[in-house]
Each structure stands twice: as C-alpha cells, then as structure tokens.
Structure 1
Amino acid sequence: MNEITRRRALGLAAGAAAVAGLTGCDKAASPSSSPSAPPPATASGPALSIPGGAIDEVYEGRRIQISMEAGGKHNGHPMPGLPTIKIDGKELHLMRNADNSWVTVVHHYETFPDPVSAARAAVRDLQGANLLPFAPAEGTS
C-alpha cells in the first residue's frame, strides 16, 4: 500500500499550487515590494480628508453637498468619521467597506474609492429622479 494513487498525487499538486499562489500574492501585496502602496490602515481606517471640511458642487444639474461636521448616521445613530452626503438637500446613505471603499444605497453592489465618486455615481444613476429618504427596516433601530 506504499504506492501513490492518482487522487493523492492530484491533491498534493493542488496543495503545492495553492501554496505557491498564496506566496506570490503575499509578496505582491507587501508594502516593501511596491513603493506606491498606501500606508496601512488603522483599526478605524484611514482618515478621510475633505478639502476645507466640506464640498458643495453642482454635478449634472444636481447639488451635491458633503460635510464632515455632523458625521454620517447608521440606523439613526451618529457615526463619527463618516461624511454626510446630500443630493439636492436629501441625505444619501453612505457606507464604508472593510477595504476602505465606499457604497451607497443607490449603488449597493458597486464600490467607489471616495465619497465624492460615490455621490457623483448616484447622481448619474438617479437620472433626474428624486432621492427618497433611507429608512431602516422596522425593528432594527
């Protein structure tokens, strides 16, 4: 029973390939191998900087306002560090992902590198429609 079986040989080859692939991914992702790699994030993520603390612009005929003063909300609770985005005066619900990308209620399955890009994409997708207020499901507050 010392002979190697086809199943065992395939399992060993697949394991070796997986280890080689993961080792290559680890080296490619290390900050020392890429001089332009972003600094490591803290537990709360990198700080979001909005020039002057607020953005107020008209994009495709819609007014986008982004501010850090009030802070965003989650289920009605203030979340420090999250910006508040308003499109034509109505709040756009914004969420930060674990990889520090951003999603909105309008684009829940597409990520954006910053809140400004997320707000502009929401304006494009709304195509002139009004933004409806976000209300969490009952019983989740």
Structure 2
Amino acid sequence: MSRTTDAGDAPRGPSRRILLRTGFTAVVAAGTAAVLIPLHDHPQDTAPAPAQGPGHAAAGAAGAEEFAEMYRGREIRGGVSVLVPAAGPGGGAHHAEPVAEIRIDGRPLHVMRRADGTYLSDVTHYESFPTLRETARAAVDELGTARLALPASHHR
C-alpha cells in the first residue's frame, strides 16, 4: 500500500478508500471460504438419494402401482409402465421414462405426474392425488354418468 503525502510532504497513513477495499476483500474471501469448505470436505462418491413423493412405490415393493376394479359401476384400470426406446444409430443407453395410464370403461384418461409425485388428470385438472387409483376414482366421481370421449385420431 502506498502512503499519500500532503503539501508538507509529511507521510500519512493509508487512505480510507484503501482500508475499505482491503476490508471488503477480506470479508468476501472469508465468506467464500466458509461456504466452500463444507463442499470440499464432503466425499465425492456419495450423493444424496432423491426424495420420493407420495405417489412412489415403497422401496420394498415389487413394482409400481397397478389396479383393476369396479368403482360406482365403472371399470377402472391403471398402472405405470416404463417405455424403453430402442437404441438409435449411436447405440447409446437411453433413459426410460415411466408412463402413467388410466382407463375408464376401456377409454384412456390422460394422466400427468407432478413434480411432487402426485397425479392429476384432464377431468380433475385442478386437484392432484397421491395415487393413480385415487385419481381414477375422482375422475369417475366427476364424470358421473358421462363417458370419456374417444381419443382423437391423428389422421388429417
């Protein structure tokens, strides 16, 4: 640090600006070290397991939820299947996405999985349910005596 001099050439201490800059730099360096040290001490080979939402099957369960039942005079079936895409020209591994499916009286009900693990459907779009069975039952309750529309064809 350089010392400043006044008109009388008497040496003074460091300027206020230099002291503030040095103090700020020290605080930033200490804060960064305090944040990064726990990350450095954490073992690299252990990663936390992702949290499972309420719609996930238990760890000991043989597979995902599947059901088929009569509910209020309607046949409801549902389950989760995993679609594994065929290997492309590169032959690399592909990520398999689970697909939830519900059928009411043989007609498909579009179901979506939310980030928290619950499900919602086209019929009960503003409510979510922890299981596919509850989602299907709520859709039957909402439909009453009406039937689901047949899926639209993709032909023009």
Alpha carbons of structure 1 residues 83 and 107: separation in structure 2 relative to 1, 3 Å: same
The aligned residue for residue 115 of structure 2 is: 98
> Under a length normalisation based on structure 2, what TM-score does the superposition of the two structures give?
0.47
Share of identical aligned residues, percent? 39
Query: 1:108 aligned to 2:125?
Result: yes
Deviation, structure 1 residue 80: 3.3
Query: 1:60 aligned to 2:72?
Result: yes
Aligned counterpart in structure 2 of residue 40 of structure 1, from 51, 57, 60: 51
Aligned counterpart in structure 2 of residue 119 of structure 1, from 123, 127, 136: 136
| Runs (5+) with no aligned partner, structure 2 | 1-49, 58-62, 84-95
Alpha carbons of structure 1 residues 46 and 56: separation in structure 2 relative to 1, 3 Å: closer
* Per-residue Cα deviation, 1:97-121 (whole angstroms, up to 9, x for no partner): 1111110000000111111100000
Alpha carbons of structure 1 residues 128 and 104: separation in structure 2 relative to 1, 3 Å: same
State which structure, 1 or 2, has the greater radius of gyration over its C-alpha atoms: 2
Between Structure 1 and Structure 2, which shows a larger proportion of helix residues? 1
Contact 2:56 2:64 in 1 (8 A): no
Contact 1:93 1:134 in 2 (8 A): no
Contact 1:92 1:134 in 2 (8 A): no
- Matched to 2:77, the amino acid is Q
| Runs (5+) with no aligned partner, structure 1 | 1-38, 72-78, 136-141
- Which whole-Å CA distance do the structure 2 matches of 1:55 and 1:46 have between them? 15
> Under a length normalisation based on structure 1, what TM-score does the superposition of the two structures give?
0.52
Contact 1:67 1:84 in 2 (8 A): yes
Contact 2:110 2:121 in 1 (8 A): yes
- Which whole-Å CA distance do the structure 1 matches of 2:56 and 2:80 have between them? 14
The aligned residue for residue 4 of structure 1 is: none
Aligned to 2:140, the other structure's residue is in SS state helix
- Which whole-Å CA distance do the structure 1 matches of 2:76 and 2:130 have between them? 17
Alpha carbons of structure 1 residues 100 and 55: separation in structure 2 relative to 1, 3 Å: same
Contact 2:119 2:130 in 1 (8 A): yes
Contact 1:70 1:84 in 2 (8 A): no
Aligned to 2:99, the other structure's residue is in SS state coil
- Which whole-Å CA distance do the structure 1 matches of 2:82 and 2:64 have between them? 15
- When the two chains are superposed, the root-mean-square deviation of aligned CA atoms in Å is 2.9
